[in-house]
Structure 1
Amino acid sequence: MTYTYTLADPRVESALSGMFAASGNDDAVAARTFARGFAAMTFEEQIAAAAEIYMPISADGGKLLYNLVRAARPATVVEFGTSYGISTLYLAAAVRDNGAGHVITTEYSKEKIDAARRTFAETGLDDVITVLEGDARETLAGADAGFVLLDGWKELCLPVLRLLEPRLAPGTTIVADDVNLPNLRPYLDYVRDPANGYHSVTFPTEDGMEISCRL
Protein backbone atom coordinates (compact mmCIF):
# COMPACT_ATOMS: atom_id res chain seq x y z
CA MET A 1 0.00 0.00 0.00
CA THR A 2 1.34 3.42 -0.91
CA TYR A 3 0.49 6.70 0.77
CA THR A 4 1.67 10.28 0.85
CA TYR A 5 2.92 12.07 3.94
CA THR A 6 3.93 15.57 2.97
CA LEU A 7 5.19 16.52 6.43
CA ALA A 8 8.08 14.13 5.75
CA ASP A 9 9.04 15.97 2.57
CA PRO A 10 12.59 17.31 3.19
CA ARG A 11 11.55 20.74 1.90
CA VAL A 12 8.68 20.95 4.39
CA GLU A 13 10.73 19.53 7.26
CA SER A 14 13.50 22.04 6.58
CA ALA A 15 11.11 25.00 6.39
CA LEU A 16 9.34 24.07 9.61
CA SER A 17 12.51 23.39 11.59
CA GLY A 18 14.04 26.65 10.39
CA MET A 19 11.01 28.73 11.32
CA PHE A 20 10.58 27.05 14.68
CA ALA A 21 14.25 27.78 15.41
CA ALA A 22 13.84 31.42 14.38
CA SER A 23 10.75 31.73 16.57
CA GLY A 24 12.97 31.07 19.57
CA ASN A 25 13.80 34.79 19.49
CA ASP A 26 10.14 35.80 19.80
CA ASP A 27 10.27 36.56 23.52
CA ALA A 28 13.27 38.87 23.15
CA VAL A 29 11.74 40.64 20.14
CA ALA A 30 8.39 40.97 21.91
CA ALA A 31 10.08 42.43 25.00
CA ARG A 32 11.68 45.15 22.86
CA THR A 33 8.37 45.78 21.12
CA PHE A 34 6.39 46.19 24.33
CA ALA A 35 9.12 48.43 25.74
CA ARG A 36 8.31 50.87 22.93
CA GLY A 37 4.76 51.35 24.20
CA PHE A 38 2.94 48.72 22.12
CA ALA A 39 -0.46 49.34 23.70
CA ALA A 40 -0.40 53.00 22.73
CA MET A 41 0.33 52.28 19.06
CA THR A 42 -2.24 52.37 16.29
CA PHE A 43 -3.26 49.04 14.76
CA GLU A 44 -0.99 49.62 11.76
CA GLU A 45 1.91 50.53 14.05
CA GLN A 46 1.35 47.36 16.08
CA ILE A 47 1.39 45.26 12.91
CA ALA A 48 4.68 46.84 11.84
CA ALA A 49 6.20 46.42 15.31
CA ALA A 50 5.28 42.73 15.38
CA ALA A 51 6.64 42.00 11.89
CA GLU A 52 9.66 40.13 13.28
CA ILE A 53 7.63 37.98 15.67
CA TYR A 54 6.74 34.53 14.36
CA MET A 55 3.95 33.79 16.88
CA PRO A 56 3.89 30.10 15.90
CA ILE A 57 1.65 27.30 16.96
CA SER A 58 3.51 24.50 18.73
CA ALA A 59 4.82 21.52 16.78
CA ASP A 60 2.29 19.27 18.50
CA GLY A 61 -0.42 21.79 17.66
CA GLY A 62 0.62 21.61 14.02
CA LYS A 63 0.46 17.82 14.05
CA LEU A 64 -3.01 18.00 15.59
CA LEU A 65 -4.15 20.36 12.83
CA TYR A 66 -2.76 17.99 10.21
CA ASN A 67 -4.71 15.06 11.67
CA LEU A 68 -7.92 17.04 12.02
CA VAL A 69 -7.82 18.21 8.40
CA ARG A 70 -6.97 14.71 7.17
CA ALA A 71 -9.99 13.36 9.06
CA ALA A 72 -12.42 16.12 8.08
CA ARG A 73 -11.33 16.28 4.41
CA PRO A 74 -12.69 19.81 3.93
CA ALA A 75 -12.97 21.37 0.50
CA THR A 76 -11.72 24.68 1.90
CA VAL A 77 -9.61 25.42 4.97
CA VAL A 78 -9.74 29.04 6.16
CA GLU A 79 -6.92 30.34 8.36
CA PHE A 80 -7.01 33.69 10.13
CA GLY A 81 -3.41 34.75 10.78
CA THR A 82 -0.74 33.42 8.41
CA SER A 83 2.22 35.10 10.11
CA TYR A 84 5.29 33.39 8.57
CA GLY A 85 3.29 30.33 7.53
CA ILE A 86 4.12 27.62 10.06
CA SER A 87 0.53 26.58 10.72
CA THR A 88 -0.31 27.06 7.04
CA LEU A 89 2.24 24.41 6.08
CA TYR A 90 0.59 21.85 8.37
CA LEU A 91 -2.82 22.68 6.91
CA ALA A 92 -1.56 22.59 3.34
CA ALA A 93 0.29 19.30 3.88
CA ALA A 94 -2.96 17.74 5.05
CA VAL A 95 -4.86 19.11 2.06
CA ARG A 96 -2.17 17.79 -0.29
CA ASP A 97 -2.29 14.35 1.30
CA ASN A 98 -6.09 14.31 1.15
CA GLY A 99 -5.78 14.69 -2.60
CA ALA A 100 -8.28 17.54 -2.73
CA GLY A 101 -9.01 20.88 -1.11
CA HIS A 102 -7.45 24.31 -0.74
CA VAL A 103 -6.17 26.56 2.06
CA ILE A 104 -7.19 30.21 2.18
CA THR A 105 -5.05 32.11 4.67
CA THR A 106 -5.07 35.76 5.69
CA GLU A 107 -2.39 38.18 6.85
CA TYR A 108 -2.14 41.94 7.32
CA SER A 109 1.65 42.32 7.38
CA LYS A 110 3.14 42.69 3.89
CA GLU A 111 6.55 41.63 5.21
CA LYS A 112 5.16 38.39 6.60
CA ILE A 113 3.14 37.71 3.45
CA ASP A 114 6.21 38.04 1.24
CA ALA A 115 8.20 35.68 3.47
CA ALA A 116 5.36 33.16 3.70
CA ARG A 117 4.82 33.09 -0.06
CA ARG A 118 8.52 32.37 -0.61
CA THR A 119 8.29 29.48 1.84
CA PHE A 120 5.16 28.09 0.22
CA ALA A 121 6.86 28.13 -3.17
CA GLU A 122 10.05 26.54 -1.82
CA THR A 123 8.08 23.70 -0.21
CA GLY A 124 6.03 23.06 -3.34
CA LEU A 125 2.75 23.75 -1.55
CA ASP A 126 1.95 27.13 -3.07
CA ASP A 127 -0.52 25.55 -5.49
CA VAL A 128 -2.87 24.60 -2.64
CA ILE A 129 -2.55 27.91 -0.75
CA THR A 130 -4.10 31.30 -1.43
CA VAL A 131 -2.88 34.21 0.71
CA LEU A 132 -5.30 37.09 1.18
CA GLU A 133 -3.65 40.38 2.13
CA GLY A 134 -5.40 42.85 4.43
CA ASP A 135 -7.96 42.93 7.22
CA ALA A 136 -9.56 39.48 7.55
CA ARG A 137 -12.84 41.13 8.52
CA GLU A 138 -12.93 42.33 4.92
CA THR A 139 -10.98 39.72 2.93
CA LEU A 140 -12.98 36.79 4.33
CA ALA A 141 -16.40 38.31 3.75
CA GLY A 142 -18.51 35.70 1.97
CA ALA A 143 -15.93 32.93 2.35
CA ASP A 144 -17.02 29.31 2.65
CA ALA A 145 -15.07 27.15 5.08
CA GLY A 146 -15.13 23.46 5.83
CA PHE A 147 -12.45 23.89 8.51
CA VAL A 148 -11.34 27.05 10.31
CA LEU A 149 -8.15 27.94 12.19
CA LEU A 150 -8.26 31.18 14.17
CA ASP A 151 -4.72 32.14 15.15
CA GLY A 152 -4.49 35.84 14.33
CA TRP A 153 -4.91 38.74 16.73
CA LYS A 154 -6.92 37.33 19.59
CA GLU A 155 -9.26 40.31 19.91
CA LEU A 156 -10.37 39.66 16.32
CA CYS A 157 -11.01 35.91 16.59
CA LEU A 158 -14.64 36.36 17.62
CA PRO A 159 -15.43 38.99 14.96
CA VAL A 160 -13.87 36.77 12.29
CA LEU A 161 -15.85 33.75 13.50
CA ARG A 162 -19.07 35.78 13.45
CA LEU A 163 -18.24 36.88 9.92
CA LEU A 164 -17.83 33.28 8.75
CA GLU A 165 -20.66 31.90 10.86
CA PRO A 166 -23.60 32.30 8.45
CA ARG A 167 -21.84 30.02 5.95
CA LEU A 168 -20.56 27.36 8.36
CA ALA A 169 -22.24 24.01 7.77
CA PRO A 170 -23.17 21.78 10.72
CA GLY A 171 -20.15 19.67 11.68
CA THR A 172 -17.58 22.27 10.67
CA THR A 173 -14.50 22.21 12.92
CA ILE A 174 -13.18 25.52 14.26
CA VAL A 175 -9.83 25.64 16.08
CA ALA A 176 -8.48 28.59 18.07
CA ASP A 177 -4.95 28.68 19.48
CA ASP A 178 -3.60 30.21 22.72
CA VAL A 179 -6.53 29.58 25.06
CA ASN A 180 -4.53 30.92 28.02
CA LEU A 181 -4.32 34.45 26.63
CA PRO A 182 -6.82 36.77 28.35
CA ASN A 183 -7.73 38.63 25.17
CA LEU A 184 -9.15 35.39 23.73
CA ARG A 185 -11.69 35.22 26.57
CA PRO A 186 -14.66 36.76 24.67
CA TYR A 187 -14.19 34.17 21.93
CA LEU A 188 -13.96 31.29 24.41
CA ASP A 189 -17.04 32.46 26.30
CA TYR A 190 -18.94 32.52 23.02
CA VAL A 191 -18.03 29.07 21.66
CA ARG A 192 -18.32 27.43 25.07
CA ASP A 193 -21.96 28.49 25.35
CA PRO A 194 -24.10 25.84 23.57
CA ALA A 195 -26.76 28.48 23.01
CA ASN A 196 -24.47 29.94 20.33
CA GLY A 197 -24.43 26.70 18.37
CA TYR A 198 -21.08 25.12 19.24
CA HIS A 199 -19.72 22.20 21.21
CA SER A 200 -16.19 22.89 22.43
CA VAL A 201 -13.34 21.07 24.08
CA THR A 202 -9.92 22.39 25.13
CA PHE A 203 -7.00 20.32 23.88
CA PRO A 204 -3.82 20.52 26.00
CA THR A 205 -1.21 21.45 23.42
CA GLU A 206 1.61 23.79 24.50
CA ASP A 207 -0.52 26.95 24.34
CA GLY A 208 -3.87 25.19 24.47
CA MET A 209 -6.25 24.81 21.55
CA GLU A 210 -10.02 25.21 21.65
CA ILE A 211 -11.64 22.77 19.24
CA SER A 212 -15.25 23.58 18.47
CA CYS A 213 -17.84 21.83 16.35
CA ARG A 214 -20.58 23.83 14.66
CA LEU A 215 -23.90 22.33 15.74
Structure 2
Amino acid sequence: MNCLSTPRVRTVLDRLHAAADLDEDRPHPRPDAGASAQERADLLADAYMPISARGGDLLYALVRASRPARVVEFGTSFGISTLYLAAAVADNGAGHVVTTELSAAKVTAARANLTEAGLADAVTVLAGDALATLAGEPGPIGLLLLDGWKELCLPVLRLLEDRLAPGALVVADDVSFPTMAPYLEYVRDPAAGYVSVEFPVGDGMEISCRA
Protein backbone atom coordinates (compact mmCIF):
# COMPACT_ATOMS: atom_id res chain seq x y z
CA MET A 1 0.00 0.00 0.00
CA ASN A 2 1.23 3.50 -0.86
CA CYS A 3 -1.11 6.30 0.07
CA LEU A 4 1.09 8.83 -1.77
CA SER A 5 -0.68 7.68 -4.91
CA THR A 6 -4.21 8.01 -3.53
CA PRO A 7 -6.18 10.97 -4.91
CA ARG A 8 -6.68 12.57 -1.49
CA VAL A 9 -2.97 12.77 -0.66
CA ARG A 10 -1.71 13.27 -4.22
CA THR A 11 -4.01 16.24 -4.78
CA VAL A 12 -2.64 18.07 -1.75
CA LEU A 13 0.99 17.28 -2.55
CA ASP A 14 0.66 18.30 -6.21
CA ARG A 15 -1.01 21.58 -5.21
CA LEU A 16 1.67 22.38 -2.65
CA HIS A 17 4.58 21.48 -4.93
CA ALA A 18 3.08 23.62 -7.72
CA ALA A 19 2.66 26.55 -5.33
CA ALA A 20 6.20 26.09 -4.06
CA ASP A 21 7.56 26.10 -7.63
CA LEU A 22 5.81 29.41 -8.31
CA ASP A 23 7.03 30.77 -4.99
CA GLU A 24 10.66 30.12 -5.98
CA ASP A 25 10.41 32.74 -8.71
CA ARG A 26 8.92 35.36 -6.39
CA PRO A 27 11.21 37.81 -4.56
CA HIS A 28 11.16 37.44 -0.79
CA PRO A 29 12.27 39.98 1.81
CA ARG A 30 15.77 39.47 3.19
CA PRO A 31 15.92 39.35 6.99
CA ASP A 32 18.52 41.54 8.65
CA ALA A 33 21.71 39.74 9.62
CA GLY A 34 20.90 40.13 13.28
CA ALA A 35 17.24 39.05 13.01
CA SER A 36 16.09 36.44 15.49
CA ALA A 37 14.65 33.11 14.37
CA GLN A 38 11.17 34.37 15.28
CA GLU A 39 11.64 37.58 13.30
CA ARG A 40 12.79 35.61 10.26
CA ALA A 41 9.87 33.19 10.60
CA ASP A 42 7.38 36.08 10.73
CA LEU A 43 9.01 37.87 7.79
CA LEU A 44 8.95 34.71 5.65
CA ALA A 45 5.58 33.38 6.80
CA ASP A 46 4.39 33.00 3.19
CA ALA A 47 7.61 31.48 1.82
CA TYR A 48 7.44 27.75 1.14
CA MET A 49 11.11 26.69 1.42
CA PRO A 50 10.02 23.10 0.66
CA ILE A 51 11.66 19.75 0.33
CA SER A 52 11.80 18.56 -3.28
CA ALA A 53 9.37 15.93 -4.54
CA ARG A 54 12.28 13.52 -5.02
CA GLY A 55 13.48 14.27 -1.50
CA GLY A 56 9.97 13.58 -0.23
CA ASP A 57 9.93 10.21 -1.95
CA LEU A 58 13.27 9.41 -0.32
CA LEU A 59 11.91 10.31 3.11
CA TYR A 60 8.87 8.13 2.49
CA ALA A 61 11.09 5.18 1.54
CA LEU A 62 13.35 5.65 4.57
CA VAL A 63 10.39 5.63 6.96
CA ARG A 64 8.82 2.62 5.26
CA ALA A 65 12.11 0.71 5.47
CA SER A 66 13.13 1.63 9.02
CA ARG A 67 9.60 1.54 10.50
CA PRO A 68 10.28 4.05 13.31
CA ALA A 69 7.80 4.26 16.15
CA ARG A 70 8.55 7.98 16.54
CA VAL A 71 9.52 10.44 13.79
CA VAL A 72 10.56 13.98 14.73
CA GLU A 73 10.78 16.85 12.26
CA PHE A 74 12.37 20.27 12.80
CA GLY A 75 10.83 22.79 10.39
CA THR A 76 7.28 22.04 9.28
CA SER A 77 6.69 25.06 7.02
CA PHE A 78 3.52 24.32 5.01
CA GLY A 79 3.79 20.61 5.76
CA ILE A 80 5.09 19.21 2.47
CA SER A 81 7.80 17.05 4.05
CA THR A 82 5.43 16.28 6.91
CA LEU A 83 2.94 14.80 4.45
CA TYR A 84 5.55 12.37 3.11
CA LEU A 85 6.52 11.34 6.66
CA ALA A 86 2.89 10.97 7.71
CA ALA A 87 2.02 8.93 4.62
CA ALA A 88 4.84 6.51 5.39
CA VAL A 89 3.82 6.14 9.03
CA ALA A 90 0.21 5.57 7.99
CA ASP A 91 1.22 2.95 5.43
CA ASN A 92 3.43 1.22 8.01
CA GLY A 93 0.36 0.90 10.22
CA ALA A 94 2.30 2.13 13.27
CA GLY A 95 4.24 5.13 14.48
CA HIS A 96 3.69 8.86 14.90
CA VAL A 97 5.22 12.07 13.54
CA VAL A 98 5.98 15.04 15.78
CA THR A 99 6.85 18.23 13.92
CA THR A 100 7.58 21.77 15.09
CA GLU A 101 7.23 25.16 13.40
CA LEU A 102 7.98 28.70 14.59
CA SER A 103 5.58 30.57 12.26
CA ALA A 104 2.02 30.59 13.61
CA ALA A 105 0.65 31.12 10.10
CA LYS A 106 2.49 28.07 8.81
CA VAL A 107 1.34 25.95 11.76
CA THR A 108 -2.26 26.72 10.81
CA ALA A 109 -1.61 26.01 7.13
CA ALA A 110 0.24 22.75 7.79
CA ARG A 111 -2.52 21.44 10.05
CA ALA A 112 -5.10 22.28 7.37
CA ASN A 113 -3.06 20.51 4.68
CA LEU A 114 -2.66 17.39 6.83
CA THR A 115 -6.39 17.35 7.53
CA GLU A 116 -7.21 17.79 3.84
CA ALA A 117 -4.94 14.84 3.02
CA GLY A 118 -6.54 12.69 5.72
CA LEU A 119 -3.25 12.31 7.61
CA ALA A 120 -3.80 14.60 10.61
CA ASP A 121 -4.16 11.67 13.04
CA ALA A 122 -0.59 10.56 12.25
CA VAL A 123 0.96 13.92 13.19
CA THR A 124 1.31 16.27 16.15
CA VAL A 125 2.24 19.81 15.06
CA LEU A 126 3.98 21.81 17.80
CA ALA A 127 4.02 25.61 17.60
CA GLY A 128 7.08 27.51 18.74
CA ASP A 129 10.86 27.43 19.06
CA ALA A 130 12.11 23.88 18.43
CA LEU A 131 14.70 24.15 21.20
CA ALA A 132 11.78 24.63 23.58
CA THR A 133 9.02 22.53 21.98
CA LEU A 134 11.28 19.49 21.55
CA ALA A 135 13.09 19.79 24.87
CA GLY A 136 10.74 17.32 26.53
CA GLU A 137 10.20 15.08 23.51
CA PRO A 138 10.44 11.46 24.66
CA GLY A 139 12.50 8.81 22.95
CA PRO A 140 13.32 6.60 21.36
CA ILE A 141 13.32 8.61 18.13
CA GLY A 142 13.74 6.39 15.10
CA LEU A 143 14.03 9.08 12.43
CA LEU A 144 14.85 12.77 12.78
CA LEU A 145 14.41 15.24 9.90
CA LEU A 146 16.25 18.56 10.21
CA ASP A 147 14.87 21.13 7.77
CA GLY A 148 14.46 24.33 9.78
CA TRP A 149 16.85 27.27 10.08
CA LYS A 150 20.20 25.84 9.08
CA GLU A 151 22.25 27.24 11.94
CA LEU A 152 19.88 25.51 14.37
CA CYS A 153 20.14 22.02 12.85
CA LEU A 154 23.17 21.08 14.93
CA PRO A 155 21.74 22.47 18.21
CA VAL A 156 18.49 20.57 17.61
CA LEU A 157 20.42 17.37 16.89
CA ARG A 158 22.48 17.80 20.04
CA LEU A 159 19.30 18.48 22.03
CA LEU A 160 17.72 15.19 20.91
CA GLU A 161 20.83 13.07 20.55
CA ASP A 162 20.43 11.13 23.79
CA ARG A 163 16.92 10.15 22.70
CA LEU A 164 17.90 8.70 19.33
CA ALA A 165 17.34 4.96 19.07
CA PRO A 166 20.33 2.79 18.16
CA GLY A 167 20.46 2.80 14.37
CA ALA A 168 18.24 5.89 14.14
CA LEU A 169 18.37 7.83 10.90
CA VAL A 170 19.03 11.58 10.94
CA VAL A 171 18.24 13.35 7.66
CA ALA A 172 19.32 16.95 7.07
CA ASP A 173 18.13 18.89 4.03
CA ASP A 174 19.90 21.65 2.05
CA VAL A 175 23.39 20.57 3.09
CA SER A 176 24.93 22.53 0.19
CA PHE A 177 24.15 25.73 2.12
CA PRO A 178 27.29 27.25 3.73
CA THR A 179 25.46 27.56 7.05
CA MET A 180 25.29 23.75 7.24
CA ALA A 181 29.09 23.43 7.46
CA PRO A 182 29.24 23.03 11.28
CA TYR A 183 26.53 20.38 11.15
CA LEU A 184 28.33 18.40 8.44
CA GLU A 185 31.65 18.64 10.24
CA TYR A 186 29.99 17.16 13.32
CA VAL A 187 28.09 14.21 11.78
CA ARG A 188 30.98 13.29 9.48
CA ASP A 189 33.41 13.04 12.39
CA PRO A 190 33.52 9.31 13.36
CA ALA A 191 33.97 10.37 16.99
CA ALA A 192 30.40 11.72 16.99
CA GLY A 193 29.04 8.21 16.47
CA TYR A 194 27.41 8.46 13.05
CA VAL A 195 27.86 6.80 9.70
CA SER A 196 27.04 9.66 7.35
CA VAL A 197 26.67 10.08 3.61
CA GLU A 198 25.42 12.88 1.35
CA PHE A 199 22.62 11.99 -1.04
CA PRO A 200 22.38 14.04 -4.27
CA VAL A 201 18.77 15.20 -4.15
CA GLY A 202 17.58 18.82 -4.25
CA ASP A 203 20.14 21.01 -2.49
CA GLY A 204 21.68 17.91 -0.96
CA MET A 205 20.52 15.65 1.88
CA GLU A 206 22.82 14.19 4.49
CA ILE A 207 21.69 10.81 5.81
CA SER A 208 23.36 9.82 9.06
CA CYS A 209 22.89 6.56 10.94
CA ARG A 210 23.32 6.66 14.73
CA ALA A 211 25.85 3.84 14.96
**How far 1:93 sits from its partner (Å)?**
0.4
Counterpart of 2:61, as a letter, is N
Separation of aligned partners in 2, 1:96 and 1:18: 21
Q: CA deviation at 1:25?
A: 3.3
Structure 1 stretches lacking a partner, 5+ long:
none
Structure 2: state its 5+ residue gaps: none
The match for 1:87 among 74, 81, 85 is: 81
Provide closer, same or farther for how the CA distance between residues 206 and 32 of structure 1 changes in structure 2, counting only shifts above 3 A.
Answer: closer
Report deviation, 1:22.
Answer: 0.9
TM-score normalized with structure 1 length = 0.94
**2:159 matched residue in structure 1:** 163
Q: For residue 28 of structure 1, report the CA deviation from its aligned partner.
A: 4.2
Q: Tell whether 2:37 aligns with 1:43.
A: yes
Q: How does 1:1-215 map to 2 (within 5 A)?
A: 4-29=1-26, 31-34=27-30, 37-143=31-137, 144=139, 145-215=141-211
Counterpart contact for 1:142–1:164, Cα < 8 Å: no
Shift of the alpha carbon at 1:45? Answer: 2.1
* Residue identity opposite 1:6 in structure 2: C
Instruction: Report the TM-score when normalising by structure 2.
Output: 0.95
Structure 2 CA distance, aligned partners of 1:27 and 1:7?
Answer: 24
Alpha-carbon deviations, 1:153-210, whole Å to 9, x = none? 1000000000000111220000000010011111111000010111100001021100
The structure where helix makes up a greater share of residues is 1
Distance 2:81 2:37 in 1: 23
Computed over aligned residues only, the root mean square deviation of the Cα atoms, in angstroms, reads 1.2
| Cα distance in 1 between the residues matched to 2:166 and 2:44 | 36
